[in-house]
Every structure is written in C-alpha cells, then in structure tokens.
Amino acid sequence: MKQFLFFILKTLALLLLTMGLLDVLYTTVYLQSDSRTKIDYLYNSNNKDYDVVFLGSSRVNNHFVPKIFNDQGYKTFNFGITRSRLEESALMLKLMMERHYKIKTLILQVDLNINTNDHSEAIRSLFMPYLHQSQIIRDHYRSIPEYYELLYIPFYRYLHYDARVGFREMYASLVHKRTNNLDNDGFHPLESHGGKIIPADLSKYYPKKNVAYEEIKAICKANNIRLIAMTTPMCMSTINRDYFNHINSVYPEIYRFENAVTDDKYFSTCGHMNKAGAVAFTKVVFDAFFKPKAKP
C-alpha cells in the first residue's frame, strides 16, 4: 500500500507539474498575441490616443464604421464585441485606462443590454489569460464564485473556458493565424440575406438599472471622457418597440437612435444592420454629435 500511495503522490505531482507547464505555455502564447481578438489587441497595446471609441455588443461591432469618423480627422476604433454585455464593456474601458489610453469620447450602446446585469461567459473567457498580469482584471472578477480556483489552480482557467481559450485558440495564436476582428478598425460589416426580416420580440425585455453602466459612467466622469450612451437601430417590425421608451424612464440621458435607420433593406437581421445600414447609421451619429454646427 505504501508503494501505491507513493505512486499516487508521484502521479498527482506529475499532474500538477503538467498543469503548471501548460499554464505557462498558454499564458506566454496569449501574452504575445495581439491580432486575434479586440481584447488581446487592447491588452497588448499602450498609450493609445483616441478621439472616439465605440463600446458594446455586436450591435456596435456591426453598426459603427470608424472610417467615416477617421476620414473627418477623428481617430476612432470600434471595440464592440459580439456577445459581450455591459459588464464586459465596463471591463474593456477599465483595461483601456490601465493601458493608459487617452479617450475624448466614448460612444456606448445601451439598449437591449440593460435588460440584464448578467455577464457573457464567452467574452469573460477571453480575459482569463491576463488574470495574473492585470490587476484591473483580477479586481473585476474578485467577486465571481470561482475566482480563487481560476487564479490559484494552474491551468484551471483554460480548462474552465476551454471552448474559447483552450487548445484550438492557443494553437491559432501560436501560429499567428489571422482573424478579421481587427479589420476596418474593428468594424465587422454584415451581408444582407435577401429574405424577409424576421421580427425580434422584445416583449420579455425590461430595462433596469445596470451596475456596469453606472460603473462606466463613473469611469468616464473620473477620466474626463465624454460619454454618449445611445440605442441603436432595430427593424421596424420589432415586437414591443415600447421597450425603448422604458429605457428613458430608467436612464433619461440615453440618446435614442433606434429609429435612425428604418428601411428593411438596411438590415441583415432585425437586430443587426448590413453594411449599407451601418454606413447610413454612422453618418447620422456623426452628424448628430461631431459635425461642426453651421454658423447662424
């Protein structure tokens, strides 16, 4: 039995060693990757100077065209990430501050995402490789239930989030396999599908006070960033468009742009515009906030 216990101890030591080595390998690879996701790009950049930064979900990623701003002399980047929620947007902004970004204006999408205070597991996983290196990320996740396991058990974070930061992603980062996430200054255009737009149903959506949004407001105030929080277009056949009226009853400062583009030909799906829609919408936003006012 003594021999067996010794064998088990050796096996466990081997397991721990393997976990440690794999953790070092994966983390090293991710720390050197800056071209696969907006998060690794952000983490591996420093002292960026932006006039305008866009934050939000796919409804930012697919809706704001930085080129329109850049052509007018504004330095702009679209940091919207498909599937992210306001919690991840808040962390993105905190990370920007940690990386000494200088931002004049933040355009934040606040519409469907204030239906919940929840987070996105898919996007949370993308922050995990930097857990040991970034104090901001550690602080942000300090209250989640598995925080100590993620931080102290080697490789646990990569096991827990293997679908997003597991072997496939690590290998792709290692061989510098390109993605289109950073093309067009972060804007990802969608195609039209040609068919009829299926209405989105917002009847189960209720806008509520959002912790992450409050946090973003506080960060902007502390860092002297002009915050423009706005809704973005949904197709006109959306069920319960009244949802957008309720948003203003919770947060009156949010600008209403859900009707900025209405024609179905500008939509890829009910909640996402195609490229033409994105261009039209970005122009509307630019004109509303950045176009020099004509002298009276």
- Binding footprint of other proteins on the chain (CB under 8 A): 1, 3-4, 7-8, 11, 14-15, 18-19, 22, 155, 159-163, 166-168
Q: How far apart are CA 26 and CA 178, in angstroms?
A: 18
Residue 262: CB minimum distance to other proteins, A: 30
State the helix-helix crossing angle for 86-98 and 211-222, rounded to 10 degrees.
Answer: 20
- What is the amino acid identity at position 260? A
Comparison of 3 and 249: residue with beta carbon closer to other proteins: 3
Q: How far apart are CA 192 and CA 9, in angstroms?
A: 59
Q: How far apart are CA 20 and CA 292, in angstroms?
A: 56
Could you give the 3-state DSSP secondary structure of residue 193?
Answer: coil
The answer to whether residues 57 and 84 touch, using CB atoms and an 8 Å cutoff, is: yes
Comparison of 162 and 264: residue with beta carbon closer to other proteins: 162
Residue 232: CB minimum distance to other proteins, A: 25
Residue 11: CB minimum distance to other proteins, A: 7
Comparison of 172 and 284: residue with beta carbon closer to other proteins: 172
Residue 243: CB minimum distance to other proteins, A: 28
Comparison of 14 and 218: residue with beta carbon closer to other proteins: 14
Comparison of 159 and 276: residue with beta carbon closer to other proteins: 159
With vertex at residue 170, the alpha carbon angle to CA 168 and CA 173, rounded to the nearest 5 degrees, is 110
Comparison of 129 and 207: residue with beta carbon closer to other proteins: 129
Comparison of 13 and 218: residue with beta carbon closer to other proteins: 13
Residue 164: CB minimum distance to other proteins, A: 8
Classify the C-alpha dihedral 70-74-79-85 as positive or negative: negative
Residue 115: CB minimum distance to other proteins, A: 25
- Taking the CB of residue 269, how many other CB atoms lie within 10 A of it? 17
Residue 168: CB minimum distance to other proteins, A: 8
The answer to whether residues 38 and 181 touch, using CB atoms and an 8 Å cutoff, is: yes
Kindly report the backbone phi and psi dihedral angles of residue 107, in degrees, each rounded to the nearest multiple of 5, phi listed first: -100, 115
Q: How far apart are CA 151 and CA 128, in angstroms?
A: 9
Q: How far apart are CA 279 and CA 110, in angstroms?
A: 20
